[in-house]
Every structure is written in C-alpha cells, then in structure tokens.
Structure 1
Amino acid sequence: MTPHMYAVRTSALLLTALLALTACGGGTSADADAESGEPVKGGTLVYAVNTEPTNLDPHASPQDITGLYTRPVLDSLVTLDDQGKIHPWLASSWEISADQKTYTFKLREGVKFSDGTVFDAAAVKANLEHIVDPKTKSQLAAGFIAPYTGSEVVDARTVKVSFSRPHSPFLAALATAYFGIQSPESLKKGPEELAKRVIGTGPFVIDEFTPRQGITYHRNPDYDWAPPTAAHSGPAHLEKLEIKLLAEDSVRLGALTSGQVDGIASVPPVNVKQLKADSRFTLQTKQAPGGNYSYYPNTAGGVFKDVKVRQAFRDGIDFKTVVDKLYFGVFQPAFSPISPATQGYDKSTETQWKYDPDGAAKLLDEAGWTGRDDQGYRTRDGERLTVRWPFLKAFAREQRDTLAQQIQAEAKKIGFDVAFDDVTVAEYLPKVIKGDYDLADFSWQRADGDALRNLFSSSSITNAEQYGQNQAKYTDKEVDGWLDDSLNTTDLAERAALYSKVQQKVNTDVAVFPVYVFNYVLGSSKKAHGIGWEPQAYPTFYSAWVTK
C-alpha cells in the first residue's frame, strides 16, 4: 500500500474508518531460478519486509501487507491470472445468472481448514456474512461487494450468492486475499483474536505473529487443493516460512547480502544495479496493477477547486525527470491513474498531457494568481498560492518523503507554496472527512480496472459514514455513468472501453496528478527458489524452496 496509501490505511485501521487499495490475487507461481533443478523438501525460508499489518484479518484490514502476511494461510474461491482470466480454486465451477445478479458456486470436496473444520457452502456463507457485518468494520472487502444481498446454502457443496444489481468485478474481488476463506469457527472468536491470528485452508499455518518483529508459519501437511495455475500440487516444499520486519532499507539490504535472510522486499532503487551485478543474488521485479502512486487534488474546495490551477500544478512540474533521477529507472513515470499492468489501461494517456511550464504560468495568470510575494510565490488579492498537504512522514516508503520535498521545490519555481502538515494517524482521518486538505497521495494495487470506480466514483467520496478512495472528491456524471455501466458486463473488452473513457476524462479534468508506476522489487539469494507472484505484484511462497 504504500506515504502514502499504506500510511492512510494504517491510520484507518487505528481509527476503524479508513477504506483504502489493493489487494492480492490468486495463486500463480513462477520459478525464480528455473535451471536450479528439482525442488528440495524441507528447510526454512526467511523473507524481510519494510512494513507490517496492524490487523491480520483481511476481511477487516485494507493494508496491502495484510494480504502478503495472510495469503500463505488463506485460499480463495477462485484465482486470477495475469491476463485477467478467472480459474477455479476452492470453487470447482460457477454459473452466473442471466441478469448477472446471482453467482452459484460448486465447491471442491475434501478440503478442510487447519483447525479440522470442514470447508463447505456454510463456510463460504459465513465468510461473506462476516465481511459485510458492521461489527467487522471492513475497510476494504465490504466495499468490493457493496450490492451484496446475501448467500444461500443450496447444499453442502453448492452456495448461491446474490446482489441487488449486476456486479461484474465480483469474481476478481473473490480472487484477492481480502476474500480469503477463514475457518467459520475462528470467525466466532471476534475481531481482537482475528487481528492476531487467522486460520484457513492454505499451505501454511501461522505459528506466531509478533508485532514489530514478524510472523512465522509451518507447513500444512494435509494441503492438497492448490489451484491449477500453481507450479506444483500437494503440500508446500518449505517446512517453515518466516517473514521479518526490517523497516530500514540499509538494514534490510544488509541482512540479505550478509546471508541473514533469503529474500527481501523493496530493494532500494539506488542498490538495484549493484544487486543485479552480484552473482550471489537474483533480482525479480513485478509491475503492480491498480492505482499508480499519484497525488490527488481536492477538487471540491481550496486552491485546486479551479481546474486551471490543477492543470498548472500538473503541467508545470517535470514529474518524469524527478522520478527518473530519484528512482534510477526502477519506477516508471505515470501518465494515467492506473498502471499499464491493469486490465483496461489506456496507452493513449501517455501522450495526453506533458510538461509545459510556460503553459502553466499562463494558466495561473488566467486564474488570477498574477502577483508575487517577496519569496517568489504567486499571490491573488494578497493571498499566497498555498497547497496544504497532510503528510504522514513516519510511514513514508520508497523515499516518498524525499520525492515530496523535490516536488515542493519544483512547485515553488512556478509559484506554488507546498506546505506539509506532518500529521499523526489520529489527526489524518478528520482532515479527510472534513476536506481540510488540498492534496492527498497514495497508491493502490488491484488487478481489475474497477479500481477506477473506487478512485473516481462520486459514491466513493469520504464522508462521516464511510471512507472512500476518491480523495480528489471528484464528481462527474459521465464518469459515474461509465463506471456504473462497467458493472453490468463481464466482457473485458467492453469494460476496457469504458475504463479508457474514464482515464481520458479524469486526465482532462485534472482530477489526478499521476507520479510513478510502482514495481515490486524482490531481491533473493541464489539459495532461494520458486518464489512466485500473484497478479497484483505480491510474492507467493507455496512453491518456494531453499538449498543449503
């Protein structure tokens, strides 16, 4: 997630209100070192990350890292491949009614949870009901199935799920870890217990989750229901899996190069070239689908209510050069709110707007910001052109705090005073609810182009009753119509055409300042093999193995 969507998501969890990104997909796997030979059974793989979840229950938590921590434990009804195709997993087949309001699933036989509970239709119903239960305080999953009206247990192996209207993104949502199927018995233990431990049917079982340290797992010896997209079947190769929290980039990289861990997340861009050149290690990258890391102007109030001012900010800053220099080409400059890896991405957005400081100056003149104060900032009627940016610096990752400072310096050249407000997590949410900000920033990983609906539908604007991802507070009837139409069809081409219109319109209206496309950069020892990827750019460990 990711500052700042990760930071935003964390604040939400602490405040039980924030709805935020992305998500994890199905169970695809790719060998990191194909020529390494037959997998070795046993051993422990240690993997270091730079963030941790505050809540292990993916039904409640919106954090990306929650998906990473729980995917080894939780299977899903279906899985999603990189081309957007849905495959069976715990569900062996499904049918969609003619009006696209009802999904009927046939379930696999012989599946059981690690606590001994049998997986059946009642378990599926219990999970979906848990997600939409207000007591769960779901910050993400419930929003993915807003039209859900209920589930019917037809028989032990058949469950019927109903919606009040067509809802085409449902299957893709089911493939995420946020809809991972948990033991119905464990769901009865309540939110406090689920925040510390989840129980599923997956290839691993949690031993212990220790905040600020990490999480350990052991192999589920009974596992025999991997999806057809997986690299192997049966139990996991590893005997044990350990994920350690090492927040500092230098510490995490040092742990890898010294042999203390087998792999790390988020290799610092400055060290990518160095790691590539070292024969002891393998470097893998995966471009993340979903929302790019972007800045979202508050279009409903403040200085960015004026589209000319928004366009001046976007066009007057050389985002491409800043991104290229800071990230050494590891992250690509963004031009659309969604990444090229997302179903429905419109490549034509890459030429829709460009860096134009002279044009930006003219736009500010036209908007009335013609004066200059003694520090060189634009003024109008004695008021400085100030952009208020609540920034959770403590949660900044991928050098986003450094990036923000560089953008601040570039903005000053065209007359904007970008003022950071280093807020606490307790202070952030009230500002978003009240609209007391000019700029917000986050990324949000999700394989489905329906991410656009969450980011720009007027129904996704935050208010006192809900937290939505539309932090631009953007409202447009055409965009709302296209996004609603996208829910009515499962045809990927039709949906892509609608998503293209949305991308073009929000760029025209400057409802987003795209910054960069996030790439998950994974470094591993040559002793670690088979670390795979989910479609939403998270590593998977089901087919992983280690050599001595």
Structure 2
Amino acid sequence: MNIASLHASDPAHFAGGGRAARTRRTYSTRFALAALTAGSLLLAGCSGSAGAEGDDGQPQKGGVLKVAYDTDPQCVDGQQVGYNVTLNITRQITDSLTDQDPKTGEIKPWLAQSWDVSDDAKTFTFHLRDGVKFHDGTDFTSASVKENFEAIRDLGAKASIGQTYIDGLKSIDTPDKQTVTFTFDQPNAQFLQATSTMNLGFYSSKTLEQTPEQRCTGDLVGTGAFTLEKVEHDKAITLKRNDDYDWASSLAAHEGPAHLDGVEFSIVPEASVRNGSLLSGLVDVDTTVQSQDEQTLEAQGLDIVSRANPGVVYNLVPKTTGQIAEDEAVRKALNKGIDRQQLATVVSDHQAPATSVLAKSTPQYEDLSDLLAYDPDGAKKLLDDAGWKPGADGIRVKDGTKLTTTLTYWQDAPFLELVQQQLRTIGFDLQLEKKTIAEVTALQAEGKEDFTFGNLTRSDADILRNYFGANEQNSNARKPGEIDKVLARTTETLDEDARKADFTQATKLILDEGYSIPLVELTGIVGTGKNVHDFAFEASSRYQLHDTWLGGEQ
C-alpha cells in the first residue's frame, strides 16, 4: 500500500563538524521567498502547465480548481491516514514545522523559522513564527505543537505513520509560546525530515477534541492555505481559500493567500469519464491519467505532470513465514527471473522500472540495477539446486509442494501480468487476484500470504527501517539480523554521507537475501488543462496548491 511520505535532510546541514564540534548545531534559513521563483520549481520537476498567463505575465487570482480523483478518501485526516488520496487534501489544509525542497532534499523553514539539533540527535528545538493562526482564529503556539504531537501519540495504531516518526519521544517542553523542544530517549536523526510531512501537520484544539471517527468525516481545522468546507463521501471534497493566510513555506513562490478561490475534488472512478471531462474542460486536473490516454491529452495541448514517489518502489514482499517465501533460493530466483526493462513496455512513459528498492527521487538513492539484472538461467539454477524440479506443466515442485502462490492487490498495476508471464518461464506460478483496498488490507492483517505487493512513500531512506526492519510492522516477518544493525546506525548520526552509505549497505543486504523484489517506481501521473499553471508536487510527491493558478484557455 501507498502509505507515508518523507524526505532526507540536506547533506550541507549535517556534514562536517564531527563529534568534537560544538554540542548543538543551529539550522536557520530566512524567508527569502523572492529567491525561489516559479522557474526553480519547474526545474525541480514539480510545476504544471506553463502555457498562457495573465495579460501582465503574472499569476491570476480567482477560480476554483476542479480536480478529478479516481477513488474516495474514506478518511480525510492525514494524522491517521497515509494514502495519497487523503494526503493530497491534507496538505492543503495543514502546515508543517518544516518543508523540504523537492529538488535538493534540503529541509527549509515553514511554521518553524529555525531549529537546533543536538549532536547526539536526541534533542530538537524549534523556534516558531509569529502570527500564525488556525482557521478558527485561535493562535498557533508551542502549546499547539505539543498538543498535536501528544494527540498523535494517543491515536496509537490509528496513526501508524506518525507513530514511527516519534518513536522513543521522551518529552516535549514549551519554555515560551514560540519555542518547543522534543527530547528522545534514543538518537532519532530522521525526525527533522519527519517534521516536514503532513502526517505531523497541525489541527486546532477543537479538532483534536473530536473522536478519530469524527475527524475522518471532515471537521478539520488547520492552519493551511485552504479550509475544508465540505466532505461528501463518494462524491466530492470542497476546499475554500483561507484569506488570512500569511505564513507560506519558505519554498513558496509567493507570500499571502493562495491564488485560487478554492479546490473541488470530485470522485470519478471511470478513467474514460475523467479523460473526457479533462478534454472538454469539465475538470481542470485528472489525478490518475492512464498510459493509453497520455498521447491523446498531449496531442490536444494538455500537460502531463509527473513525479516519482520517493521511498520504497512497487515491489513484491516475501513473508518468511510462508511455505514458499521462506525459501531463500526462491526469493533470490524471483529477482533474477524478472526482466524489469521489459516491464517498461507496459507502463507509462513517465514511469520507470525499479533500479533499487528505493526510487530515484529518494535523496539517499543509489543505482543498484546491477543487482537486479535479468538472469533467467541463474534463477533456474538456484531453484534446481534448492530441489525445486520442473513438473509436467513446467511449474516446479519440491517434496510434493508446488511452486505456486496467489498475490492479492488493489492497485492499478498492469505490469503484474507481465511479471506473471516472466516468472512462469522459470517455473514459478504467480496467481493474481485483484480485490478492493479493504479486502486486501484484511487479508494482509491475517498474515497468511506468501507475498504482498505495494510501495511505501517517504522522502527519506529511513522508510527502509519502517518497511523492512525487524519490528512489529516488518513486512517480511523475519527475525532480527545484520540488516537491522546497519539500519540502526542511520538513526545515530547527522552525517548524511554516512547515512547514505549505511542505507546503501542495508539495501544491498535486503536484495541479497531476497527480502524485496523491486518492480516499478510508483509515479504520480497527472493531466492538467491548458488553464492550469504551477500545479506543483512537494518533496513526497503530493500536491502543493498554494502557488497554483488558473488563467487563459481552458
């Protein structure tokens, strides 16, 4: 499942100094908004249509951006839910302590104008901006920060993503209204980047007093550029501009309120209807463009905007408790038996085959495609040596057990059928069964499947620790080992070069032991009308609509 979102901190922030340096490092970036133009967002691969502009060449005010979703967000609370469909809404109504540059990975000021991090990565002190208010007019202060983080802790398993970010949090101190200090009982180097995510966004006291179920229905009061006006499940979610907004991220292209009057997310499950609505101008944005529709849209002068989700790519994940997946030879054979370059023939031109467990948009990414080379003969030899012999139908058998398993999934993943065909040539029978999200989630909760399929989004390679670490949420159900020792080191240092080296080592171990079978990078592929400008992705590849505007031909 596509769950969280995070990113890495800038190496310039963490490199150098060493343990002998001063015991506390200060990170501060003034809000020089003029220094970051819309053009730099384009260079970062984050901006939408750059066609017609206003008469004076400047963004125009007004208009409601009509966005077509393919599925309904069952819950719109980003502190509880980590799906893209929810977080794309949450990002518009909540702000974060920090922001992250989608091009460089650098952590930048937002609601916090500066911060101090202790050399042991246990203490993080944030100095907040003045004048920030929630949509209900109440002040955003250090007490608000503490209240929200305590609420996330109290949500328990309902805030599964946020819990991983604040694991080991010992105390939150608020010496004054504009200062808040987090202290962890263990080093937690990933926490600074975590503060840039919408999973750690902020709600007013009124919202936090509600039950988790009430919050899911849409009565959410944040500090964001838009307010949440109405939630009609399976129909539409309506946002309205916050006219008092004056605390945009330091990465924003303009100060003050959003250009748009509002945003309407409509639920349109049928791809053909979304495509036709975009072509006719009934909607401005199709959030899930099908590969077969891309050329049609582009031929009509519409833009396709895309960005790979950082974090763990779409992959098959073996559970070592399964009868098939417990065999290391089988896991290794699967990685050799898949021709990832061939997968590119059945996905969008904007989508790429996996070259590692991590996507290229992840800051600590390193190309490990040599470890994923197509080698069907090597795969067959591994299976032969492990006692899996071809049966009469070509499917291998060992001690009466057939090399077959059923994979359930809910995502739109046509490449799985090609994977199925490729694996059959080495004697592995992969049965595919597409179900609803709820059905797949229930099956995975039972823990009886040999393999699961999915990805996990975060703009920091710490996602490996969440996804593959030997903990309660470990996707492999494996016992602790060398992988965990290496991943543990990444939380103990603020040196980004050292973190990247350890993440690369851990990734190699994960691949060597067959704990992940990477397939394709998940990429957000969005179609925008000719009238849509500066449609932007933030670092975790979710939408940031503060700078988006409408103008010119529709």
TM-score, normalising length: structure 1:
0.89
2:62 aligns with 42
* Residue 388 of structure 2: aligned partner: 369
Correspondent of 1:418 among 430, 435, 442 = 430
Match of 1:241 in 2: 263
d(CA) in 1 for partners of 2:526 and 2:8? Answer: 18
Q: Give CA deviations for 1:484-518 in whole Å, capped at 9, x if unaligned.
A: 11001122111111111011111111111110012
2:4 paired with 1:21: yes
Equivalent residue, structure 2, for 1:130: 151
Moved more, 431-440 or 58-67: 431-440
**C-alpha distance in structure 2 between counterparts of 1:24 and 1:42, whole Å:** 32
Residue 255 of structure 1 aligns with an amino acid whose one-letter code is: S
Distance 1:424 1:264 in 2: 21
1:63/1:109 CA distance change after superposition, 3 Å: same
Gap change, CA 1:431 and 1:271, over 3 Å in 2: closer
1:60 is displaced (CA, Å) by 1.4
- Aligned to 1:88, which of 88, 104, 109? 109
Matches within 5 A, 1:74-85: 74-82=94-102, 83-85=104-106
> Separation in 2 of the partners of 1:334 and 1:430?
28
RMSD of aligned residue pairs (Cα, Å): 2.2
Partner of residue 542, structure 2: 538
Distance 2:429 2:169 in 1: 45
Q: Is the 8 A contact 2:8 2:362 kept in 1?
A: no
The gaps in structure 1 that reach 5 residues or longer are: 7-19, 462-467
In the alignment, residue 378 of structure 1 is paired with which amino acid? R
CA distance in structure 1 between the partners assigned to 2:96 and 2:199 by the alignment: 9
Superposition deviation, residue 448 in structure 1: 0.6
**Residue of structure 2 in register with 1:13 after alignment:** none
- Aligned partners of 2:127 and 2:200: how far apart in 1? 17
Change (3 A) 1:428 1:277: closer
Amino acid at match of 1:376: G
Aligned residue for 1:133, secondary structure, equals: helix
1:396 aligns with 2:385: no
SS at match of 1:222: coil
Which range moved further: 490-499 or 380-389? Answer: 380-389
Determine the C-alpha separation between the residues in 1 that align with 2:146 and 2:378: 56
Equivalent position of 1:145 in the other structure: 166
- Equivalent of 1:350, from 363, 366, 369? 369
For residue 361 of structure 1, report the CA deviation from its aligned partner: 1.4
Do residues 260 (structure 1) and 282 (structure 2) align? yes
Alignment counterpart, residue 532 of structure 2, candidates 528, 532, 537:
528
Deviations 1:239-278 (A, max 9, x none): 1211112222222111101111111112111222332232
User: Where does residue 351 of structure 2 map in the other structure?
Assistant: 331
> In the superposition, relative to structure 1, how do residues 221 and 423 fare at CA in structure 2: closer, same or farther (>3 Å)?
closer
Per the alignment, residue 16 of structure 1 pairs with none
What is the deviation of 1:423? 5.8
Contact 1:25–1:535 (8 Å) recurs in 2 = no
One-letter amino acid of the structure 2 residue matched with residue 215 of structure 1: I
Is the 1:24–1:177 Cα contact (8 Å) retained in structure 2? no
Equivalent position SS for 2:99: strand
User: How far apart, CA to CA, are the structure 2 residues paired with 1:220 and 1:256?
Assistant: 27
C-alpha separation in 2, matches of 1:476 and 1:515: 25
Report the identity percentage.
33
Give the match for residue 405 of structure 2. 387
Is the Cα–Cα contact under 8 Å of residues 59 and 136 in structure 1 kept in the other structure? no
Question: 1:504 aligned to 2:508?
Answer: yes
Q: Secondary structure at the match of 1:143?
A: helix
Q: Deviations over 1:161-204 (max 9, x none)?
A: 11111101111111011111111221112212211221111111
Question: Quick one: which amino acid aligns to residue 366 of structure 1?
Answer: D
SS at match of 1:364: helix
**2:237 aligned residue (212, 215, 220):** 215
Q: Secondary structure at the match of 1:235?
A: coil
Deviation at 1:119, TM superposition (A): 0.5
Name the CA shift for 1:427/1:518 in 2 (closer, same or farther; >3 Å): closer
Q: Alpha-carbon deviation of 1:301?
A: 3.2
Instruction: Select which of 457, 460, 464 maps to 1:452.
Output: 464
CA distance in 1 between counterparts of 2:443 and 2:228 reads 37
State the match for 1:272 in structure 2: 294
2:30 aligned residue: none
1:224 to 238, 243, 246: 246
Which residue of structure 2 aligns with residue 158 of structure 1?
179
- d(CA) in 1 for partners of 2:8 and 2:244? 23
Query: Residues of 1 paired with 2:79 and 2:266: CA distance?
Result: 23
Relative distance call for 1:216 and 1:430 in structure 2 (3 A) is closer
Distance, in Å, in 2 between the alignment partners of 1:72 and 1:426 is 26
SS state at 1:70 partner:
helix
Q: Distance in 2 between the 1:167 and 1:65 partners?
A: 29
Please point out which of 469, 476, 492 is paired with 1:472: 476
Structure-to-structure mapping, 1:99-138, within 5 angstroms: 99-134=120-155, 137-138=158-159
Q: Which residue of 1 aligns with 2:494?
A: 490
Following superposition, the deviation at residue 299 of structure 1 comes to 2.6
Match of residue 28 from structure 2: none
Which stretch of the first structure deviates more once superposed, 213-222 or 269-278? Answer: 269-278
1:132-161 Cα offsets, whole Å, 9 max, x none, are 104672121112211112311211111111
Which sections of structure 2, spanning at least 5 residues, go unmatched?
A: 10-32, 42-46
Aligned partners of 1:77 and 1:90 also within 8 Å: yes
Distance in 2, matches of 1:424 and 1:277, equals: 34
Q: Count how many residue pairs are aligned between Structure 1 and Structure 2.
A: 513
Please give the secondary structure, in 2, of the residue aligned with 1:178.
helix
